[in-house]
């Protein structure tokens, strides 16, 4: 019986694909609408999966087979009815992958969480695209994607209703708690949708909605209050950052998500170190502004921080907190501090190092390089980096009894932060793309320089930018701590 049911479900999904293709060919319906038809129809079918299958095995097999099929079909252009633009053509694949992941993780233990994630993805994202595309009259840009106010409002309202209906259907909590969860998760899911590149949001929305639903359903009322406080605080910080132009819209949204996870899941113990990083980095960035003339023509980005800069510095820390939430390994707190110590040391080294009276030299060749160029180092920058690392590791003294000034763990994190900063400079000098402007002959990290001239690769890889180097900097700091603790255990 299970095989017959699985076959019928598989045929239903194939039928959706056939109908989408007929709509495109015979009725000349826009592929964006035919793709969303499959999106909504499949999502509605998913909701009834628990009634079709007694165990997780059949839906896992079906979804895995369709993921493999879509990977080949979308790569080769076999399904124009659901094929989007080059940027989002793998959206249907990510939809199937989300269902596969959530089924493996949640089917036997938390069906409500699985369905919450899938229904937010189905109705929130699906209806937002339709309404925004056909009725959106107030557009705005996030990263390089076009969004609309109408689509964003639809995303929030549809997600809220989908969550409330799903949680009520499964009888997970009282009506008041359900509305609380639905409101909070819908807001966070909308932020995730806005800040994720097209197509990939079919993965991030479902997983994010499922995680936040899981957290709130399993947390105590006090912990849910902390999460809600984290939402409000992070929203305030994001709005302030955006209005002061220290963050662009994508950076503000990323900061909102980061802040909610870090404070809402981790509490003050995890929040204070990252606040110290962000606040101290902002303050040191304002030192000696008169001596920074010309640096904006060298560095890849200037002005307001975008999502990539925010996630490069805080995304790894957020991932460590999520790992700690699921595995409760005390060592992850020290890895977290090592990661933050590294990115803080790097930021302090960069921002204060450019104020050195002596010109910076290349980390690898020892020859002078332009101020602000990645891979350039100064003695002042090294000292500043060590102080920045010390500042972050010192915040752990207030929250962890095993940390004390001068003990082994304290020293390991301090050194990890400094070495992470050094590794950043080395990677900046070797792997990061450095370009030469054909007009002025100066070195720069920018792809476009004088008179909108496209620059020419001078050294490194054009695929490695400063954001990626920053991620590797934080990773190296955390990895050093992890390895050191593993060796002494």
119 φ/ψ sector (left φ>0, alpha ψ -120 to 50, else beta): alpha
The answer for residues whose C-beta is within 8 angstroms of residue 76's C-beta and 6 or more apart is none
CA distance 186 to 212: 10
pTM above 0.85, yes or no: yes
Instruction: Using CB atoms within 10 Å of the CB of residue 163, give its burial: 0 to 12 exposed, 13 to 18 middle, 19+ buried.
Output: buried
What secondary structure does DSSP assign to 19-77, as a single string? HHHHHHHHS---HHHHHHHHHHHHHHHHHTHHHH-SSSHHHHHHHHHHHHHHHHHHHHT
pLDDT at residue 73, rounded to an integer: 86
What is the tens place of the pLDDT at every residue in 67-118? Answer: 998 899 888 888 777 776 656 778 889 999 999 999 999 999 999 999 999 9
Residue 302's pLDDT is what?
57
pLDDT digits (tens, 9 = 90+) for 266-312: 999 999 998 898 888 878 877 766 565 556 555 555 566 788 888 88
Q: What are phi and psi of 235, to 5 degrees?
A: -65, -40
Q: Where are the domains of the chain?
A: 2-338+352-366
pLDDT value for 226: 93
Stretches in the chain below the pLDDT threshold 70: 1-2, 84-87, 288-304, 489
pLDDT number for residue 256: 94
- Residue in the structure block whose two tokens are 């803080």: 344
Tokens of 15: 């039928």
Q: What are phi and psi of 24, to 5 degrees?
A: -70, -45
């Amino acid at each position: 019986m299970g095989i017959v049911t699985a076959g019928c479900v598989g045929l239903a999904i194939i039928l959706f694909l056939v109908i989408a293709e007929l709509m495109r060919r015979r009725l000349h319906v826009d592929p964006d609408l035919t793709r969303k038809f499959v999106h909504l129809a499949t999502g509605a079918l998913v909701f009834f999966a628990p009634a079709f299958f007694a165990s997780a095995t059949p839906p896992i097999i079906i979804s895995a087979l369709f993921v493999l099929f879509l990977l080949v079909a979308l790569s080769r252009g076999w399904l124009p009815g659901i094929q989007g633009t080059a940027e989002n053509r793998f959206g249907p694949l990510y939809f199937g992958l989300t269902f596969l992941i959530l089924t493996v993780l949640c089917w036997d233990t938390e069906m409500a969480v699985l369905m919450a994630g899938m229904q937010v993805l189905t109705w929130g994202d699906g209806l937002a695209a339709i309404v925004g595309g056909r009725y959106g009259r107030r557009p705005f840009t996030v990263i390089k994607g076009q969004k609309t106010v109408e689509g964003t409002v639809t995303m929030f309202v549809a997600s809220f209703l989908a969550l409330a209906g799903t949680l009520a259907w499964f009888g997970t909590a009282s009506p008041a708690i359900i509305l609380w969860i639905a409101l909070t998760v819908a807001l966070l899911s909308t932020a995730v949708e806005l800040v994720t590149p097209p197509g990939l949001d079919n993965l991030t929305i479902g997983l994010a909605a499922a995680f936040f639903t899981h957290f709130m359903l399993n947390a105590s009322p006090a912990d849910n209050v902390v999460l809600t406080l984290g939402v409000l605080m992070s929203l305030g910080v994001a709005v302030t950052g955006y209005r002061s132009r220290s963050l662009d819209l994508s950076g503000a949204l990323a900061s909102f998500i980061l802040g909610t996870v870090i404070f809402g899941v981790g509490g003050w113990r995890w929040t204070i170190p990252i606040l110290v990083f962000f606040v101290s980095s902002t303050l040191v960035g304002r030192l000696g502004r008169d001596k920074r003339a010309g640096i904006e023509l060298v560095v890849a980005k200037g002005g307001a921080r975008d999502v990539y800069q925010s996630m490069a510095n805080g995304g790894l820390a957020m991932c460590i907190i999520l790992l700690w939430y699921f595995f409760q390994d005390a060592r992850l707190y020290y890895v977290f501090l090592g990661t933050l110590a590294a990115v803080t040391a790097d930021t302090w080294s960069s921002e204060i190092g450019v104020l050195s009276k002596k010109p910076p030299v290349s980390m690898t060749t020892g020859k002078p390089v332009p101020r602000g160029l990645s891979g350039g180092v100064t003695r002042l920058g090294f000292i500043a980096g060590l102080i920045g690392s010390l500042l972050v590791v010192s915040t752990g003294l207030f929250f962890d009894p095993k940390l004390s000034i001068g003990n082994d763990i304290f020293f390991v994190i301090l050194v990890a932060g400094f070495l992470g900063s050094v590794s950043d400079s080395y990677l900046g000098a070797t792997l990061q793309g450095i370009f030469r402007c054909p007009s002025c002959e100066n070195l720069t990290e920018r792809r476009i320089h004088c008179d909108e001239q496209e620059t020419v690769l001078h050294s490194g890889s054009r695929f490695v930018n400063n954001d990626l180097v920053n991620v590797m900097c934080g990773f190296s700091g955390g990895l050093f701590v992890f390895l050191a603790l593993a060796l002494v255990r």
